[in-house]
């Protein structure tokens, strides 16, 4: 594996240099929010962040995307498939938890049974550059409980680790190695590796919040009807904040928007927290209340995804914990389930 | 505040023991530092979880409507002679009582369906303002000590003045004491600063139409259509929101800029005479959209054009809910 060292102050410049040649998604500060957005010509990446407000999943799985277009003509419907646009791009500076989420989303969108052409095209053409978490994390970070680590290369093509005065740049995949030319020519020595290992161990220790994420699977297997499910949902507002902030939530809705003779078929994010999510055409709703919706969310993350892909669909970023308007804390829910 | 909390718990226990209420909607300590969260107390033991402090943010009246509607629907399946009454207790400050008045004026339930435990209020902390005041660093511990908020953060110990991080709605609140109640806990709170109520709106009104539209567009671009604002609002209780109707479909469900603008515009217009400036929509918004600027403008118009302040009295019906053709000051409506 190719490894380089770059001076810390050079990093923003590298992102900007890349942005001259292709699309670079980078953390950008907008008022009080840090968001992943295409880096503009005169834009500055905001690298002093703990994590972004929203998960960068929108790079591969946009909030709204057009699947096809159609026009009603005298000869019938004329369809045109939307060009599956995916320009060469770089996702710059994501946290390891979010990079981990891409590995999890791949299991779903790029599996043997189904292949999601829209997701895959973007994923193939995007190089993910992760930035390890070496600063004190959020108190609500719990990546180490869900198979993650603050210094981890999972889901990343390039991993950057702050080892003091320099960044250690590790080119993890062949896709990542194509970007070596941007990172100078100082080869990393063994000392840098040792330093990184020390930092990684310390960063792992700094994650204080822990949940029994693996322990709950067998409990969830046999507790679909447990009265416990009556206890968590009453204050839930049924908004979509947790699912829209979540790096691994991936449910979507497909709808047609028609204006005159022209129509577009779009896919947009949906949320299991919305009553409308499961409402059927007849008017019947199999998930009658927020109780069933919350059970679904917990089950999907800690049981169904494990059943289907042998992986927990949570990366421990804590966004849902921090953003939930009524402080429904997934950590407490998992903790409580483990005691059932 | 401590004293109010003790009294509140005693009162809650009494009401539950005397079976005056079936449930009390209040606040308990949250799992994150410096947070309180809505809770539902059904036993005297649970009453000890109740808190009342500057961290109690959300308007609990949204849940009053939810619980009553759920109960009514459940009772429809019960024989009339077996139907049970359910009384919802609610810990309510000024703005919450205004929301109760709105729902009562709109005949959502009977006055006897709710038992109002009135509490004085000196404002709640705007979590986003607090975070901003300490440079966005992570709070690991925190407490309110008199007029100071003291915190341990990822960047060392910090302190900010409580008054500097109170929600905008609270700073200029006119009704920080309950307007209606069945029982009062604590003595009335000192007045906030209502004279400055419309300062921000006036400044905004002074801008050109282009500037105002640019501001509206900018704010709406932040919106991710999670619906938290609508879901937290006690005045947004429609069984099916227009945003979710499909025949006709009023607004698209995607991220299209105009759909977001239209969704929020229509919600704003549905708030005429019905927004009590509790600030819940702003507090719950994950993206920090400034909805209040526009809601406050509507509130100002309601006051200046119709002499109405939403939910300020049981007798003063919302302007759009009390049209009276015989006493309308404009004669053209029925006598062209």
Q: Is B215 on the interface with A (CB under 8 A)?
A: no
| B228–A241 C-beta distance less than 8 A | yes
Is A53 in the B-facing interface, judged by CB distances under 8 Å? yes
pLDDT of residue B252: 87
As a dihedral over the C-alpha atoms of residue A37, residue A43, residue A47, residue A52, rounded to 10 degrees, the angle is: -20
Residue B318 pLDDT = 87
Give the model's pLDDT for residue A224.
97
Contact criterion met (CB < 8 Å) for A50 and B138? yes
Q: Which of A32, A137, A139 sits opposite B136 (nearest CB)?
A: A32
Q: What does the DSSP assignment read for A252-288?
A: EEEEEEEETTEEEEEEEE--TTSGGGG--TTS--SS-
pLDDT band at B332 (very low <50, low <70, confident <90, very high): low
**In A, residues 137-196, which contact B (CB 8 Å cutoff)?**
137-140
* Cα-Cα end-to-end distance for chain B: 58
Q: Which residue of B has its CA nearest to A237?
A: B231
Q: What is the pLDDT of residues B151-175, one digit of tens each?
A: 999 889 999 999 999 999 999 999 9
Q: List helix spans (H) across chain B.
A: 2-17, 61-75, 94-105, 127-133, 168-171, 199-205, 209-222, 228-232, 257-269, 280-284, 292-306
Tell me which residues of chain B, numbers 78 to 107, contact chain A at a CB-CB cutoff of 8 Å. none
Partner residue facing B244 (CB), from A268, A276, A332: A276
**Closest CA in chain A for residue B256:** A64
**Cβ-Cβ contacts under 8 Å, A235 against chain B:** 37-40, 63
Within 8 A of B132 by CB-CB distance, chain A residues are 32
The pLDDT tens digits for A254-311 are 999 888 999 999 999 999 999 999 999 898 999 999 999 999 999 999 999 999 999 9
Q: pLDDT tens for residues A27-62?
A: 999 988 999 999 998 899 999 899 999 899 999 999
User: Of A64, A325, A329, which is closest to B232 when you measure between CB atoms?
Assistant: A325
For the residues A79-92, what does the mean pLDDT come to? 84
Eight-class DSSP state of B288: -
Per-residue confidence band for A166, with pLDDT thresholds at 50, 70 and 90: very high
When pLDDT is cut at 50, 70 and 90, the band that residue B331 belongs to is low
Task: Say whether B291 sits in a helix, a strand or coil.
Answer: coil
- Return the percentage of chain A with pLDDT > 90, whole number: 91
**pLDDT surpasses 80 at B328:** no
Over 50: is that where the pLDDT of A189 sits? yes
Rounded to the nearest angstrom, the gap between the alpha carbon of residue B94 and the centroid of all alpha carbons in its chain is 10
Over the stretch B299-311, which tens digit does the pLDDT of each residue have? Answer: 999 999 989 999 9
* Residue B130 φ then ψ, to 5°: -65, -45
CA-to-CA distance for B98 and B302, rounded, in angstroms? 15
B25-69 confidence digits (pLDDT tens): 999 999 999 999 999 999 999 999 999 999 999 999 999 999 999
A102 to A58, A60, B240: CA distances (angstroms): 11, 9, 35
Q: How many CA atoms lie within 13 A of B261 on its CB side?
A: 10
Nearest CA in chain A to B283: A325
B194 touches chain A (CB under 8 A): no
CA A147 – CA A164 distance, rounded (Å): 26
Q: Taking CB atoms and an 8 Å cutoff, what residues of chain B touch A238?
A: 227, 231
How many beta-carbon contacts under 8 Å exist across A and B? 107
* Chain A residues near residue B228 by CB distance under 8 angstroms: 237, 239-241, 325
The answer to whether residue A331 neighbours chain B at the CB level (below 8 Å) is yes
Q: What is the DSSP string of B95-160?
A: HHHHHHHHHHHTTSS-GGGEEEEE------B-HHHHHHHTTTPPEEEEEEETTEEEEEETTEEEEE
CA dist B336 and B331 (Å) reads 7
DSSP class of residue A90 equals E
CB A68 within 8 A of CB A265: yes
pLDDT given for residue B333 in this prediction? 54
- Asked if A38 reaches chain B (Cβ–Cβ under 8 Å), the answer is no
- Nearest residue of A to residue B234, measured between CA atoms: A237
Q: Using CB atoms, which residue from A30, A255, A289 is nearest to B253?
A: A255
From the CA of A285, how many Å to the nearest CA of chain B?
14
- The whole-angstrom distance between residue B304's C-alpha and the CA centroid of its chain comes to 22
Find the range with the poorest average confidence among A74-88, B53-67, B197-211, B224-238.
A74-88
Per CB-CB distance under 8 Å, the chain B contacts of A245 are 286
pLDDT band for position B336 (cuts 50, 70, 90): very low
The confidence band for A328, taking pLDDT boundaries of 50, 70 and 90, is: very high
Nearest-Cα residue of chain A relative to residue B62: A237
* Domain assignments of chain A as residue spans, ordered by start: 3-206, 216-338
Q: What is the pLDDT of residue A84?
A: 72
Q: What is the mean pLDDT of residues A66-76?
A: 93
* Least confidently predicted of A7-21, A73-87, A147-161, A276-290: A73-87
What's residue B254's pLDDT?
Answer: 80
A92 vs B: CB within 8 A: no
| pLDDT mean across residues, chain A | 94
Q: Count CB neighbours of B304 within 10 A.
A: 10
pLDDT: which is higher, B247 or A324: A324
Measured in angstroms, the CA of B317 and the nearest CA of chain A are apart by 28
User: Residue B326: pLDDT band by 50, 70, 90 thresholds?
Assistant: confident
Note the ipTM here.
Answer: 0.92
Give yes or no for a contact between A148 and A100, defined as CB atoms under 8 angstroms apart. Answer: yes
pLDDT per residue over A231-244, tens digit each? 999 999 999 999 99
Percent of all residues in chain A with a pLDDT value above 70, rounded to a whole number: 99
In chain B, where are the structural domains located? 2-136+165-171, 137-164, 190-327
Comparing CA positions, the residue from A204, A222, A192 lying closest to residue A137 is: A204
Residue B51: closest CA among B2, B85, B93? B2
A chain contacts of residue B241, beta-carbon cutoff 8 Å = none
Using one digit for the tens of pLDDT, what is the confidence trace for B228-242?
Answer: 999 999 999 999 999
Nearest CA in chain B to A269: B254
B275, pLDDT greater than 90: yes
Query: pLDDT higher for A79 or B61?
Result: B61
User: Is the separation of the CB atoms in B296 and B200 below 8 Å?
Assistant: yes
């Amino acid at each position: 594996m190719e490894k380089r060292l770059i001076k810390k102050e050079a990093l923003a410049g590298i992102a900007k240099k890349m942005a001259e040649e292709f699309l670079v998604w980078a953390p950008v500060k907008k008022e009080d929010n840090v968001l992943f957005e295409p880096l503009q010509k005169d834009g500055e990446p905001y690298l002093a962040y703990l994590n972004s407000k929203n998960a960068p999943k929108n790079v591969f799985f946009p909030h709204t995307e057009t699947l096809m277009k159609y026009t009603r003509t005298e000869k019938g419907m004329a369809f045109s498939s939307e060009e599956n646009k995916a320009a060469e791009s770089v996702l710059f500076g994501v946290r390891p938890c979010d990079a981990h989420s891409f590995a999890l989303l791949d299991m779903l969108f790029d599996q043997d049974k189904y292949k999601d052409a829209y997701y895959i095209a973007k994923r193939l053409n995007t190089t993910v550059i992760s930035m390890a978490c070496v600063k004190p994390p959020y108190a609500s970070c719990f990546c180490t409980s869900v198979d993650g680590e603050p210094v981890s290369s999972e889901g990343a093509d390039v991993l950057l680790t702050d080892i003091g005065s320099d960044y250690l740049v590790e080119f993890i995949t062949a896709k990542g190695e194509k970007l070596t030319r941007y990172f100078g020519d100082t080869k990393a020595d063994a000392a840098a590796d040792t330093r990184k290992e020390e930092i990684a161990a310390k960063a792992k220790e700094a994650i204080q919040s822990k949940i029994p994420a693996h322990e709950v699977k067998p409990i969830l297997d046999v507790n679909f009807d447990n009265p416990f499910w009556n206890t968590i949902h009453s204050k839930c507002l049924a908004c979509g904040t947790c699912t829209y902030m979540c790096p691994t939530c991936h449910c979507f809705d497909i709808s047609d928007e028609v204006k005159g003779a022209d129509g577009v078929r779009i896919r947009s994010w949906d949320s299991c927290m919305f009553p409308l999510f499961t409402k059927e055409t007849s008017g019947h709703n199999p998930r009658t209340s927020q109780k069933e919706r919350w059970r679904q969310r917990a089950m999907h993350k800690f049981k169904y995804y494990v059943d289907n892909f042998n992986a927990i669909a949570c990366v421990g970023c804590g966004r849902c914990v921090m953003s939930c308007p009524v402080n429904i804390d997934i950590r407490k829910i998992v903790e409580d389930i483990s005691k059932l | 505040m401590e004293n109010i909390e003790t009294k509140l718990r005693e009162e809650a226990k009494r009401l539950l023991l005397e079976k005056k209420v079936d449930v009390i909607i209040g606040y308990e300590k949250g799992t994150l530092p410096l947070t309180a969260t809505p809770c539902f107390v059904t036993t005297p033991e649970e009453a000890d979880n109740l808190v009342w402090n500057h961290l109690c943010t959300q308007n609990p009246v949204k849940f009053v409507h939810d619980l009553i509607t759920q109960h009514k629907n459940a009772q429809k399946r019960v024989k009339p002679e077996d139907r049970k009454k359910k009384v919802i207790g609610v810990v309510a400050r000024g703005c919450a009582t205004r929301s109760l008045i709105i729902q009562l004026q709109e005949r959502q339930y009977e006055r006897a369906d709710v038992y109002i435990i009135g509490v004085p209020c000196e404002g709640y902390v705007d979590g986003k303002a607090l975070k901003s005041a300490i440079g966005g660093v992570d709070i690991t511990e925190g407490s309110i000590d008199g007029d100071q908020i003291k915190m341990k953060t990822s960047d060392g110990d910090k302190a900010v003045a409580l008054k500097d991080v109170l929600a905008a709605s609270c700073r200029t609140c006119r009704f920080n004491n309950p307007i209606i109640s069945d029982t009062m806990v604590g003595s009335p709170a000192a007045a906030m600063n209502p004279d400055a109520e419309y300062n921000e709106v006036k400044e905004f009104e002074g801008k050109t139409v282009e500037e105002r539209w640019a501001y509206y567009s900018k704010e709406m671009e932040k919106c991710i259509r999670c619906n938290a604002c609508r879901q937290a609002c006690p005045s947004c209780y429609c069984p099916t929101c227009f945003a979710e109707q499909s025949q006709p479909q009023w607004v698209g469900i995607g991220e299209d800029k105009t759909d977001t603008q239209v969704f929020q515009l229509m919600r704003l217009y549905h708030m005429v005479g019905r927004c009590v400036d509790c600030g819940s929509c702003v507090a719950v918004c994950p993206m920090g959209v400034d909805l209040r600027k526009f809601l406050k403008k509507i509130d100002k118009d309601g006051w200046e054009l119709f002499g109405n302040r939403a939910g300020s009295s049981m007798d003063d019906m919302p302007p759009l809910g009390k049209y009276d053709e015989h006493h309308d000051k404009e004669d053209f409506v029925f006598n062209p």
